[in-house]
Structures are given as structure tokens and as C-alpha cells.
A and B are shown apart, each in its own frame.
Chain A
Amino acid sequence: MLENTVETPRDTDVDMLRAGTWTLLGRLLMAPPDRELRERMIAIGSETRHGDAISEAWGRLAEAARTADDTRLAEEYQTLFIGVGSGEVTPYSSWYLDESIASRPLVLLRDELVRLGIERRADSSETEDHAGAVCEIMGFVVLDEDVDFDWQKEIFERHVDNWMGRLFEDIDKAPGADFYRAVAALGSAFLTLERRFYAMSA
């Protein structure tokens, strides 16, 4: 099983950027960022180019990281995500697609993961349809040369694009969101970019 080092086949520049963004979103949705990750986000700079959604989102995220601290982030994450039914948002595809927990969308995703050769980590407390896990999965998929374009597009449409945008909208509207509004902005802008990417590449 892989730990924290991903070995990949040779990939394009674009694929690396896409996989990195999926991985970052996954990391942020699974847990609040620690100081090291925040410092790396700050280092990307807060300059924004007006009218460019993804650029503005990067800037917003860097600025949010600059003003965040561990205590407030832990409280915000707890308020937003922890506890099924008790957080302000419920970040699972089963919830968004089936209005239940660990239901058919999770079953379908697990079937897909068997074909992909991806499995839930034994030490993970979250099911595979958690938004953070789904983003991690996309990070793997983008770099996996065994997953051709059509399959990659199907995975995006079946397990991501049909619900994750609504999750980011809900995070943006959640009363307890502060730092995570910036994460939602990046997620929304990136989903738009990915949607256009798949449409353009068809």
C-alpha cells in the first residue's frame, strides 16, 4: 500500500497540475491544514488577476492561509464537517445524491475503486465517498496511465461532478465557514476548469 509517496508513470505538465490540485483539495477536506501546509499555500502568493476565477481563488486561499491559526481552523473544521447530521455540511456523495449515508453512491464508487486498484486505507475513519477521499481518488486517477481519457471522464461525471459543486456552494453559505470559503472557491473554480477540460478534450 502506498503511504505518503506516490509513484507515478511519466505524465504531462497539465496532469501534474491537475493531480496536485485534486490532492490539495482532498487534503484540505480531510483535515484542517497544519502550519507547514499553510506556509506552502502562502508561498504561492496572493496576487490575483482580475476576471480569472482560478487565479482569484488561489489568491484568496493564500490570503486565508495567512490569517488562519491552528485553533480557529480546528474549530471551524469541527463546526463544518464533524459528525454526520451535526456538522453544517455533510461532505459525502451518498448524502448529496441519495439523501442518506453510505448508500448506493458509495457502493457504485467502491465498485469503481476495485477496477481502479484503489482501496480505503485501513486507518481511515471516513468512507470512500467523503469529499476528501473522492478528491484523493481523482488525484490518483489523473496520474494513472492505466486510466484512459474516456474512463477518467466517466469517473469525473459519475462520482464527482454530479454533486461536489453543490457541496462547495453549501460550504460557501455555511455560517461557520471562514477559511473554508476560500477552499470552496478554489474547488468551484477548479471543477469549472475540469468540466471544460473534459468537454474540450472529447
Chain B
Amino acid sequence: MNSKEDAVGIESRRKFMKSMALTGGGVAVAATMGQASAAPVEAEAPVEAAATGYHETQHIRDYYNKAQF
């Protein structure tokens, strides 16, 4: 597989994962506060604009990218 195909495959996984995060599971449990009262997020929100609740560092992001997530 060449690098272009590799990148396409990784991107499709990432889109799929983000869609799963947004649609949620909700089969067994449900949030009653916290997220439930927060504003919706756009699926493709830029990382730079994101607010994090913990240590967000470039090396963590790099790690996940390197792991072909």
C-alpha cells in the first residue's frame, strides 16, 4: 500500500470514529448532566480551537497519529 492509499484509509477510520463519538452509544447508559447540558460540537472542529480538560500536548497527538488510529 502506498502512502496516499494509507492516508485515505486512516482518514476514513478517523471520520468513522468521529461519527461514532457524535452519534453515541446510549444503549445501556445515558448521561443526565455534564455533556448533556453542553453545546453540540461540530464533527470537524479544528484541534487548535478546542478546549481540553486535561494535558493536551503535541506528542500525544503525534502518538495517536503514528499509531494509525
For A113, the chain B residues whose CB sits under 8 A away are 29
CB <8 Å contact, B51 and A145 = yes
Whether B21 contacts A20 by the Cβ 8 Å rule is yes
- For residue A9, CB closer than 8 A to chain B, the reply is yes
Bound CA span A120–B26, Å: 9
When the two chains form their complex, are residues A137 and B29 in contact, meaning their CB atoms are under 8 A apart?
Answer: yes
Q: Kindly state whether residue A147 has any CB partner on chain B within 8 Å.
A: yes
Q: Does A67 contact B (CB under 8 A)?
A: no
Q: Is A132 in contact with B26, judged by CB distance below 8 angstroms?
A: no
Residues of B in contact (CB 8 Å), total 53
Contact B52 A2 (CB under 8 A): no
* With A16-B17, A113-B29, A146-B53: A197-B23 Cβ-Cβ less than 8 Å: no
Chain B residues with CB under 8 A of A133: 27-29
B64 touches A132 (CB 8 A): no
Instruction: Give Cα distance in the complex from A146 to B59, angstroms.
Output: 23
A21: which B residues are within 8 A, CB to CB? 17, 20, 69
Q: In the complex, A41→B54 CA distance in Å?
A: 30
* Cβ-based interface call for A8 (8 A): yes
Task: Determine if B28 and A130 form an interchain contact, defined as CB atoms under 8 angstroms apart.
Answer: yes
| CB closest residue in chain A, given B10 | A55
The answer to whether A136 touches B20, judged by C-beta atoms less than 8 angstroms apart, is no
B 23-53 contacts with A by CB, 8 A:
23-36, 38-41, 43, 45, 47, 49-53
B27 touches A124 (CB 8 A): yes
Residues from chain B with Cβ under 8 Å of A111 in the complex: none
* Any B CB within 8 A of the CB of A164: no
CA A69 to CA B17, docked complex, whole Å: 22
Chain A residues with a Cβ under 8 A of chain B: 1-17, 19-21, 23-24, 26-27, 30-31, 40-41, 43-45, 47, 49, 52, 54-55, 58, 113, 116-121, 124, 126, 128, 130, 132-133, 135-137, 139-140, 143-150, 152, 193, 196-197, 200-201
Supply 17 further A-B pairs (C-beta < 8 A) apart from A14-B61, A27-B20.
A6-B21, A6-B22, A8-B38, A9-B38, A11-B45, A12-B56, A12-B61, A13-B14, A14-B47, A19-B21, A21-B20, A23-B23, A47-B6, A54-B68, A197-B60, A200-B63, A201-B60
Q: Which 10 A-B pairs have the closest CB atoms?
A: A149-B54, A20-B17, A6-B24, A117-B33, A133-B28, A55-B68, A20-B21, A20-B20, A19-B21, A136-B25
